[in-house]
Amino acid sequence: MSAMVGAAAGVGFFLIWWSCWETPDAGRRERKPGRISDLLVAAGVEKVSARGLVGTCLGLGLFIALVFFALSRSWPIAGCFGLFGSWLPVTLLRWRARKRSALLRQLWPDVVDHLRSAIRAGLPLPEALIQLGDKGPEELRPLFRDFGADYRAGGQFDGSLNKLKHRLADPVADRIVEALRLTREVGGSDLGRLLGTLGEFLRESARTRSELEARQSWTINAARLAVAAPWIVLVLLATRPEAIQAYNTPLGAAVLLGGLVVSLICYTIMLKIGALPQDERVLR
């Protein structure tokens, strides 16, 4: 009996001690977007979810594998090309993200110049951003019109800036947005000079990066062709029945698996060596 009373008292003291500590609200924790979500936003495909992209990759890979099996009657060959097909949507998204980043890199100096002119004319910061929906670069006007709609609907500058920054998904946009936010919060008279310096820096950076990408593109394309050449030869060999019989054996499947691993490793190394350093979204 005394043991039960002691245990009950111990549990009671523990519950009292536990109630003195504030438990963090797990529902309020901000979840960071994953790499797939970042890729979709960077590519400008916001209506597609991460699960939708994964499902598309799996479905396309299965479809291509079935097509190659129907043509070659070889599961090892069909499996290899099915893996290539499943990675095709991700490759297209990365290509679109690079194109969008290159386009934005050319547009940001004009955006900065428009903002600088509007601020010098005496417009408030929200109105300076809203007028970019009519006078800014054509490709970015819908995004700034959405900012204007958000600001007029809620009247909250910070919340509208956060939505604009999420839609743009660009490191340069993060810097501009945070500079405008800081200026609105603490004030300052050097915003025009800051934007002028930023515009000159962005023009010089875009010019230098364009020259580097032009010199580098032929090297990367040659490396991609070198990786794709063996698999093009495999497609031609798949038209011969004796080659199909050879690849249907365990040894033939092992050769294909080894070639697939070597191709993936070489392609990854090629991308790492040939890639230019990308700006990270530190101020997201």
Domains: count for the chain: 1
Tell which residue, 183, 172, 177, 175, has the closest CA to residue 129.
Answer: 177
pLDDT tens digits for 88-112? 999 899 889 888 888 888 888 888 8
Domain assignment of residue 21, yes or no: no
Distance CA 191, CA 169 (A): 23
DSSP-based three-state secondary structure for 189: coil
Domain assignment of residue 18, yes or no: no
Cβ contacts of residue 29 below 8 Å, gap of 6+? none
pLDDT tens digits for 172-193? 888 888 888 887 777 666 777 8
Q: Which phi-psi region, left, alpha or beta, contains residue 281 (left: φ > 0; alpha: ψ -120 to 50)?
A: beta
User: 82 with 92: CB under 8 angstroms?
Assistant: no
Confidence of residue 66 (pLDDT cuts 50, 70, 90): very high
State residue 30's pLDDT score.
Answer: 45
Instruction: Identify the weakest region by mean pLDDT among 13-22, 155-164, 215-224, 239-248.
Output: 13-22
Domain assignment of residue 157, yes or no: yes
Domain assignment of residue 82, yes or no: yes
State residue 58's pLDDT score.
Answer: 93
Domain assignment of residue 239, yes or no: yes
Confidence of residue 32 (pLDDT cuts 50, 70, 90): low
Handedness of CA 36, 38, 43, 46 (dihedral sign): positive
Residue 56 domain boundaries: 39-274
Cβ contacts of residue 158 below 8 Å, gap of 6+? 181
Tally the C-alpha atoms within 13 A of residue 119's C-alpha that lie toward its C-beta.
21
State residue 65's pLDDT score.
Answer: 93
Q: Which phi-psi region, left, alpha or beta, contains residue 185 (left: φ > 0; alpha: ψ -120 to 50)?
A: alpha
Confidence of residue 29 (pLDDT cuts 50, 70, 90): very low
